[in-house]
Structure 1
Amino acid sequence: MTVSQTPTADDLRNALVDEILGGQTLPAQVEQAMRRVPRDAFLPGLALEQAYTDQAVTIKDNPDGPLALSCASVPSVVAMMLAQLDAQPGDNVLEVGAGTGYNAALLAELVGAGQVTTVDIDSDVALHARTTLNNAGYSRVKVIERDGLLSVWENAPYDGIIATVGVWDIPVAWWNQLADGGRLVLPLRWRGQTQAVALTRRGNSLVSDDMELCGFVPIIGQNGEKTQSLNAGNTIRIHYDEDQPVDVDALTNTLTGSSPHEVLSDTRVGGEEPFDGVWLRATASDDRVCRLEVAPEALEKGLVRRPVIPVRSPALVDGGSLAYLIVHREGADPERPFLLGAAAYGPNGKTLAHDLIAHIEAWGADRTAVPRLTVTPTVDAAGGLPGHMISKPESQLTLTY
């Protein structure tokens, strides 16, 4: 008879890292840091099995909204962003969003004799991070309670800045405190999506070399993203940027009691094949891209045709018309049995549907392509860069395929 042995924290941690390595390639130093730092030490009171699951863990709820005020990020995303940052021994690194302190501990392992500073606007979160870092043996990490949008000028310039909260606009303060040649890694939000973008400062520009779809709690203090309900029950909502002229009243009238116009593309996907690149591709040329959110209650009542991902689907919006991404099962190709398409409402719906199909098919022709993102400070932006520009109060984004 064999007696099963309860796995230790080390066993669980190594199993989690092995799981992460099954889905992505990590630099050796990031893998070593993930195997060394005990995530459970930063989540006191949580069962070991939960601490070493590849999931986010809320550490402070938000009384003013559905999203957490602070949480421990998904470990595989943590690892991916640390790989993007490429922190080296001796580097001086700033983290915006202290969270549990776990990410700062990983950074401390990566920079060795270098310096790690982590900043958080919330006093409870900053205290939690300070306490757990001290208890885990990382007292050398500097924890500062401050609005992260201001950065931490006392310890600048930084070789790297990493944000662990969703950022809608890159603050000028971060530019002023990032060394030329330094790396900025952040979950950058535009047109309803969030991409973990790795940028290198080259003089007066930040230029990307990698981006991956992700999801993060938004940073406090940036309000450029808008959310409006499109029905009385608040079960259908549109998310858009402040520069987009979305007519909520017109859209609400459009969706009431009307049937959609549906168009299917020739682009097929498999059951496990990601297609978020359609959204990214559309944002690189089209300023009408928004995010549609449909709650289960709206789907149960048949208020709208089911979007491809109800909580977050790309949509094109123009006045009182919109078109959004749908999927249709069609078994002609067993490897890729799903056809992507568009469902559209409103007087200009057919045109929007065909425009969305064009974005789908552009993505389908080159599914691994990622745009080059160049960011310049709005105050210094001279224009003239090739590509599609999105202007924000403090930064100007230019996307080019």
Structure 2
Amino acid sequence: MISELREWGDLRSDSVAEALRTVPRHLFAPGESLEDVYAANQAVVTKRDEQGLATSSLSATHIQVTMLEQAQLQPGMRVLEVGSGGYNAALLAELVGEAGTVVSLDIDGDIVERARSCLQTAGYEPVRVVHGDAEHGHAPEAPYDRIIVTAGAWDIPPAWIEQLAPGGRIVVPLRMRGLTRSVVFAHDGDHLVSTGYRLCGFVPMQGVSAREERLIPLDGSEVALRAEEEQLLDVSGLRQALYGQWVQHWSGVRFDQVDELDFWIATQAPVFGLLVARQDAVERGLVTRAALRGVPTLLRGSGFAYRTKRPIEGTDEFETGVYAHGPEADAVADEYVELLRRWDRDLRGGPGARIEVFPATRPTSELPRGRIVEKAHTRVAVSWPGARNP
């Protein structure tokens, strides 16, 4: 497991590697096979709801390592973990040492008891596992040098910011326009600013902070849009467009660095969503295979365009292109292709986006230029240093 994580580039520091060697991961997943528990890229579900959906899991090690590396933990630090399971808290305890403090918070009483039991079995009794809603953090032992959130968050509650020590960091899987990135935030005056981010995936937050993703059916249960701006959509027109003629445009842009490219599209498209589909819809020719995992989609009126790819002859590479549906298919395809080319021209291999978090009361006139993503407690501004105007 450790060798694979090093090969992938997720594991970079000796301190995190030593924590992985020390903490017996299998003690936090009793009854599971060692092959599954120590697979570097496999999560182990620890609880499901009545519909069979995962509500808690032992996250894949590569995700946990990514966030631990982002956090840059040091001995003696005070850490609040939001979302418990036990194993990650034990890794945190190894990294902050006996002089440090680890508080692990979870809303699910069953998970709290399970984490306590596993930590005790593994010899990590000093870790405090507390029962509570993430919306409120855990004030009694604040301030924290690091707040590490291990559940998918739609917003950043004020309590997390208030309970963060000066010079502290929040590492949080933050959902922005349907895409989730593990973002490292630090104080910058009266707001938060990102110092880096990585692709990730987590079970969603529960409690007051929960915000369900909405699926808008376009073809029964076979094709749907996952969009957070449903009020801006011509759903009837989009359904008709799905069955109508489509066009295909190619960009000349190499299909790589896709995670970053997708985030660029998500933060530039005026109206954005993820097109998702099942295998049957692909076989019927309604959409391409790109939609099986959810593909970034630009929406305009009753039309939409989404990313695809094709092999570049004589090479092992692919070219990025666009499929578009609707009465303005050519126009929306051209708009998408222009975004692909701008990213290729200005941003490929660059520093990425700058993500800033302001209070929800901050006037637009006082926000930086860029895409503003509205939340309940905050306004998230995403800008791209280096991007030239169209």
**TM-score, normalised on structure 1?**
0.89
Matched, 1:277 2:260: yes
Which range moved further: 323-332 or 236-245? 236-245
Letter in 1 for 2:348: R
Q: What is the CA distance between 1:307 and its match in structure 2?
A: 4.6
Residue in structure 2 matched with residue 3 of structure 1 by the alignment: none
SS in 1 for 2:36: helix
Equivalent position of 1:379 in the other structure: 361
Partner of 1:316: 298
The partner residue of 1:248 within 196, 216, 235 is 235
Q: Distance in 2 between matches of 1:80 and 1:264?
A: 34
Post-superposition CA distance 1:281-338 (Å, at most 9, x none): 123333322111111111122222x053522110011221110011122314x142x1
Aligned amino acid, residue 314 of structure 1: P
Q: Alignment partner of 2:361: what SS?
A: helix
User: In structure 1, what is the Cα distance between the partners aligned to 2:55 and 2:39?
Assistant: 21
CA distance in structure 2 between the aligned counterparts of 1:156 and 1:236, rounded to whole angstroms:
46
Q: In 2, distance between residues paired with 1:195 and 1:244?
A: 24
Cα shift readout 1:252-292 (whole Å, capped 9, x = no counterpart): 12213x131110111123xxx44122211123333322111
Equivalent position to 1:357, from 331, 337, 349 = 337
- Going from structure 1 to structure 2, the CA distance change for 1:69 and 1:115 (only over 3 Å counts) comes to same
Structure 1 unaligned residues grouped into runs of 5+:
1-15
Q: Give the partner amino acid of 1:156.
A: A
Structure 1 equivalent of residue 56 of structure 2: 70
Alpha-carbon distance in 2 for matches of 1:355, 1:196: 28
Deviation string, structure 1 residues 114-145 (Cα, Å, up to 9, x no partner): 11111111111111111101111111111111
Q: Distance in 1 between matches of 2:229 and 2:137?
A: 24
Aligned-residue offset at 1:102: 0.5
Deviation at 1:242, TM superposition (A): 4.2
**Other-structure match for 2:147:** 161
What is the alpha-carbon distance in structure 1 between the residues aligned to residue 269 and residue 323 of structure 2? 18
Give the fraction of aligned pairs with identical amino acids, expressed as a percent: 36
Q: Is the 8 A contact 1:93 1:161 kept in 2?
A: yes
Tell me if structure 2 keeps the 8 A contact 1:235–1:294: yes
Contact 1:168 1:188 in 2 (8 A): yes
Q: Is the 8 A contact 1:307 1:327 kept in 2?
A: no
One-letter amino acid of the counterpart of residue 107, structure 2: I
Corresponding position of 1:4: none
TM-superposed CA distance for 1:180, in Å, is: 2.5
Of the three residues 206, 210, 218, the one matched with 2:204 is: 218
Are 2:374 and 1:391 equivalent residues in the alignment? yes
* SS of 1:310 mapped into structure 2: helix
The aligned residue for residue 84 of structure 2 is 98
The answer to whether the 8 Å contact 2:282/2:289 transfers is no
**Runs of 4+, deviation exceeding 4 Å:** none
Q: How does 1:182-201 map to 2 (within 5 A)?
A: 182-201=168-187
Q: 1:92 to 1:143 in 2, by over 3 A?
A: same
CA–CA separation in structure 2 for the residues paired with 1:399 and 1:342: 24
Q: CA shift at 1:227, angstroms?
A: 1.7
Equivalents in 1 of 2:108, 2:192: separation in Å? 29
Are the aligned partners of 1:381 and 1:396 in contact in 2 as well (CA < 8 Å)?
no
Does residue 141 in structure 1 map to residue 127 in structure 2? yes
**Structure 1: how far apart are the matches of 2:172 and 2:178?**
16
Q: Name the counterpart of 2:276.
A: 293
Pick from 34, 56, 65: which aligns with 2:43? 56
Per the alignment, in what secondary structure is the counterpart of residue 3 of structure 2? helix
Q: CA deviation at 1:91?
A: 0.9
Task: Please tell me whether residue 20 in structure 1 is matched to residue 8 in structure 2.
Answer: no
Picking from 222, 228, 235, the partner of 1:235 is 222
Q: Is the 8 A contact 2:229 2:271 kept in 1?
A: no
TM-score, with structure 2 as normaliser = 0.92
The range that moved more, 198-207 or 154-163, is 198-207
Q: Which position in structure 1 is the counterpart of 2:248?
A: 262
Tell me whether 1:368 sits opposite 2:354 in the alignment.
Answer: no
Which residue number in structure 2 is paired with residue 82 of structure 1? 68
Which one is further off, 388-397 or 363-372? 363-372
The residue type paired with residue 340 of structure 1 is T
Paired letter, 1:23: W
- Between the aligned partners of 1:130 and 1:109, the Cα distance in structure 2 is 16
**Separation (CA, whole Å) in 1 of partners of 2:323 and 2:38:** 40
- What letter corresponds to residue 137 of structure 1 in structure 2? G
